[in-house]
Structure 1
């Protein structure tokens, strides 16, 4: 069940109180919540901010600025922190010192991916006015009135993508705590390493990362083999939940939309929660939303009761494993309790799998659409879906799936558009201007359309990135990592309509950063010729997926 958090946010010290009551969607982080609060009160994103849990003292801040110390990242999900009845503070602008009291009034079923204002009192605030005293003394008459209808309309235009669910709980005693080996990368995420690629040596970064993964896998396999007899013993969901703190258990209850547990003691709550989580109808709802990649991992774990090694991102993206699994983060081994495995087999019916496949197909349509067009109205994707399948799909349904099921983060939803993650707002506007009046390129078959965003082992050779990568490997004597990295960056720039001269400059930067010897004059001539060919035959975002050659042929 999808959840939202009903918050009452009040400007501390305001009299009469200036406040907003709002529902925010679950699976957002504190940075998303900051955006919502700033829009609610008229702040302009010009100052630093901080969230603080008044009970525990935990603080969340937006940067590594030296001003902050002993704080946590705003990339943390509010779902891991917000519990009904808790009080938080949000401080904006440490000069004027605007303190907002936040009360988590309730956790409610909420399917929308945007904030919704329920009630409000008081106007928008005014930036840099000297704080609360200055606002009342000199500026209150200039404050613009807050309009709920306008605010909600604006929120609806910019839905927030669901973030990966962060696992909760501690290590489980019955797992043991052998040492893990993550190589030189430690336990940082894949995304963090990718961001460093153009700042350091991409080839070395990738090689180190995958070396670290292999070391981790080997360590996990050895640990499983050494403890196989012990790990083969049956354990149950109650064993897992008994190792959680009461706050962990309450968080699981909230995330699953349960109520009526506030007066239960920890042991009672664990027993109660086990029964609720193992109800067939409840698990069926969760299993139906599993994406294929997640389903493959779950099936592997079910087939191997002693556990398998999985990566942190795989765990964080799985609501099912985060709720039902037992994970040892020392060695990265995930197991599933016996009663969970049995219930999963019961609910994972043919009909359930069929519905999952249909959702996944729609997800693939979204992936292909942004790969072909860069920016595309969601309504147009619905038209393309009907063109190939003969079936109608509601724009609202398509938008929901785009927000929740594109776990590779390739697709972003901005207002009524699907947008490729690598396209910023400025490029988005330019692409839309260029696309105006141009019909979208529609491949002859559905299979061809879906290849663009969802190539598999059999079709990946057809992708421009792979073809160009192989050409670079052969002509410039590059290895696979360097070839594909350069091909991916250059082709994105081509799709964005970069001039050939700019493409050569970008290539020089990539070559330098990778520690590749400077290209010879002969090699540069070959590359220029290849880039000229690619510019004419690559499907461009600005031409709605058509190539330059196709456009010129129609003139």
Structure 2
């Protein structure tokens, strides 16, 4: 039996409020909600939801309409090491929790246990995270021993085996188990022609060599791989010779390292998972756009990814600790680049370097960021010292966008994790302002949740780039093959209502609502200062004097000694 070690953190809490908890496998999202609510002190008085950002999947808790998606879905399919899930409690106060799957471990209990924590219990109906800090003195302390006693006594979960998604997505609830069940079933059907079908599925074990994979390809496909990998033009080989030459060329250490360096963290994660699990189910579209997965792996029946044994052996040799750290540095910088491009559309490399230094407190140069961006063509581009989304390079659209942005600061979340999440999911996640549109697609346009999310993100993407609500509504109606004018009018109104809460390029990542609030605050501050100055000038004579200038350690000491400040008066202050 196994369990999941989770770190669950309240978004926006500073210092962070979190719980590290181990939960057993084979529980539902509703079970997980019960755990989260108890260990944070919530009282089940409000609705909740789970969002799987990378999959853009959304699970509701039980609602007034009787929907129970979280009851019907198990956690196992979505929980893998380093997976992130967003849990929201109370759509009014909008308590967002980030769930990080830290590791998967052996765990033979059917109840959860908290192993570490920071921060008190939460308080209901206090206005969200900012209101919480006004009343934090009233928060009850978290008592781990008592909590664990309660969890052991009252939260022993039976095994949950159901799932609503495998049939819709073509992905098994448990990949290896489902595959084995299929093999057993086909064996029992051997007398009725099942044996032939069984042979078509092949063995679960990966291929011995990459050359074996290539033998199933057409010669033109092998030549295309050679071109895409920028390999020297091959000689006039026969197909078998070409397969051997291509295998040797791709497994050359420098070439393999180059492909790994240009791969995303997600792609390398799939690759490693396929090695450890002896194959994984995956969408063919993800494989086709990844040189690592399409050049170095086999894909059976268009969905089962395997890593040949000679590829695995070579990977283990070159994936050293130092190379892994190098890749992690690349991925970290790439994450900053992606988040900046998503939020701002365009940003100077110097400004992005400042943002990175502000979050990480580590050195970085604009050139390093430019080099990273160059490794991922198609994701972004660099021109004239600016990092931007590729479409902005056309006819210098980025110049006009920079003019529109000129007087605004960059939107920067308090926590770097929140900043980087925008690059990870490349979307603005549902909140109380945008949920009505998602519900409209689901309930009134009769779209299932995956298609509702597709529409939701398409509309937000258009609004982010200055799209008009009427145009967004028309595109959504066309997608749904909906022609009723009343529906379009209602959808347009919903989109207009949420538009002020969408993060846009023109606002450098801020929403219209936030920009207006900043302007109002600035005007109020200016008015107060002006009125104050008038009153001061009228009532008294004040001689203005300059503020104290900050003195740095290597500056000349202001006492006139001629020594550096750190060796003179600066030393006396210590």
The TM-score normalised by the length of structure 2 is 0.47
The TM-score normalised by the length of structure 1 is 0.48
| Rg (Cα) greater in structure | 2
Q: Say which structure, 1 or 2, has more relative contact order (CA 8 Å, 6+ apart).
A: 1
